[in-house]
Chains A and B, each alone.
Chain A
């Protein structure tokens, strides 16, 4: 499968990365080169193979239902949450107005 500029433009839009026309032009052969190369995986017979889920055998641990047991994973720290915000007002993050 190979991509054209329209496809790359669509992918870039999905990924929310603005690309100029000239960037698009440059990306098409690059991406096609990489895609053609990874497509050699198609030749591997994986008929009875399960996709990998856990690289090292391990089970999913669950956390107890406790609020703010650890400040690193709990809430109640608005200052830390907003500390790096480009725009924060009245305890909120600010973004350009959204019309729904």
Chain B
């Protein structure tokens, strides 16, 4: 059992923080959970609202198969129990962003049961070892609409575009003990969701939000009363909210107060949390099975289909990069951190291997190093991202193959990359145009070497007498004579042979 050492130093001693997260992840689907309206972000107000979403009289929900499929695939990705029998329940409350007067959710029989994910050791963050975080359940539910309070002096405006968009609520066990662990959990979850393709993970667009449950206790003691901070929408804010909320609770407790179980709001501007105006009946949601919907029974064929469609997941991919491709743990980590990077890398690797006529494992290190140190660096300088890179993985692969085949030198490759980033041209065309091809023809190099050795007979004597440092001189002279286009490896080999 891993124990993290994150503690809050109170006046009366140490406090331990207990954290559980409920992450709401928007399911990637074209249409909403129960209607055919679109889910795209940023549309005109109320333009993506069906009669069903607006809860017109007599309207009925019919579930979207894709939303169910994505929830099941997500469950499988966290090794969770998939419930072949689940039901939709109504959660009843009144608010202007909730046209039906109830949210269709799953309380009693969620679609996904117990699962878990592993957060990786991170010494710097105070996570000494890998740690398994339990996930209690995932259920599918409807998102609510949006109220705008600043458009009119006496009115709030209601936009129902988000009403009915499918969310997965992913409920963790209270297994986290530090802000860093919570941050790592959200990052890992986001990584998995993006790999699975069930959520785009765009936290700034609200595709992922976390409700943060925090309580404090004496280390190893009885659980304290928790508060729930709603709708925190970045990893950093999650960590800030926990830090703030935990120390607030410690302050309250140490000054003789009691923690009230309540809902709180996070203010990103101050990094603090504050109590939401409590409503006396806020917690009587009168859940009951939605009589408009029958129990959801998942067939084996559907489940098999879901499982077969799962991609290689981050942990497995990272292990494969290390074990099969021989990459360093660091490089494997960097390349698998985001599904788009991994996808890019794999195309690059495939193209490089194909063009160079080699096995992927033979060019993997070269490809990884080039992507991480060359391309990332260059893109960084340009202030752009891999997604927007003018160099596609196919073009990158062609470039790397030129190095692997000895057509160009490493230094020439840097030059080619710069031009590629500017023009988007193919590597080969640039090499041709700029005359960057290096000479690998042994005959031509031999002739140059012979000339150099003949002209420097004294140095050859000294070398043979033991002044081996002169080897570099011969290389330099040969390269100079060849205007830098001689393949250094071939030059080396020939010089070594000639000098005996």
Residues of A in contact with B (beta carbons under 8 Å apart): 10, 13-14, 16, 53-54, 58-70, 72-78, 80-82, 87, 89-100
A92-B50 contact given A60-B295, A67-B37, CB 8 Å threshold: no
Decide: A96 and B156 in contact? CB cutoff 8 A.
yes
A53-B47 contact given A61-B62, A67-B30, A95-B96, CB 8 Å threshold: no
Decide: B31 and A65 in contact? CB cutoff 8 A.
yes
Who on chain B is nearest to A54 by CB? B294
Most central of A61, A68, A80, A96 by chain B CB within 10 Å? A68
Within 147-162 of B, Cβ neighbours of A (below 8 Å) are at: 147-149, 151-160
Decide: A67 and B46 in contact? CB cutoff 8 A.
no
Q: Is the interface of A mostly helix, strand, loop or mixed?
A: loop
The 9 closest A-B pairs by CB, nearest first: A75-B37, A65-B66, A92-B157, A62-B65, A74-B36, A93-B158, A60-B294, A75-B48, A94-B155
Query: A10: which B residues are within 8 A, CB to CB?
Result: 281
A53-B294 contact given A74-B35, A75-B48, CB 8 Å threshold: yes
Query: B310: which A residues are within 8 A, CB to CB?
Result: none
Most central of A69, A81, A91 by chain B CB within 10 Å? A81
A93 to B44, CA, bound (A): 13
Q: How large is the interface on B (under 10, 10 to 19, 20 to 34, 35 or more residues)?
A: 35 or more
Most central of B45, B94, B96, B155 by chain A CB within 10 Å? B155
A41 to B38, CA, bound (A): 46
Q: Is the interface of B mostly helix, strand, loop or mixed?
A: loop
Query: B329: which A residues are within 8 A, CB to CB?
Result: none
Who on chain B is nearest to A75 by CB? B37
Contact for B96 among A70, A74, A98, CB less than 8 A: A98
Decide: A67 and B49 in contact? CB cutoff 8 A.
no
Most central of B54, B62, B64, B147 by chain A CB within 10 Å? B54
User: What are 10 pairs between A and B in contact, CB < 8 Å?
Assistant: A14-B286, A60-B63, A62-B62, A62-B68, A69-B36, A76-B37, A91-B44, A94-B157, A97-B149, A99-B277
A63-B63 contact given A90-B157, A94-B152, CB 8 Å threshold: yes
B174 to chain A, nearest CB (A): 27
**Interface assignment of B318: CB less than 8 Å from any CB of chain A:** no
Decide: A75 and B281 in contact? CB cutoff 8 A.
no
Who on chain B is nearest to A16 by CB? B94
Decide: A63 and B64 in contact? CB cutoff 8 A.
yes
Contact for B156 among A14, A67, A69, A98, CB less than 8 A: A98
Contact for B294 among A16, A59, A77, CB less than 8 A: A59
Contact for B36 among A13, A63, A92, A97, CB less than 8 A: A63
A37 to chain B, nearest CB (A): 21
Query: B35: which A residues are within 8 A, CB to CB?
Result: 73-75
B105 to chain A, nearest CB (A): 16
B340 to chain A, nearest CB (A): 23
Decide: A96 and B294 in contact? CB cutoff 8 A.
no
Decide: A76 and B38 in contact? CB cutoff 8 A.
yes
A92 to B284, CA, bound (A): 29
Contact for B289 among A53, A66, A93, CB less than 8 A: A53
A72 to B64, CA, bound (A): 15
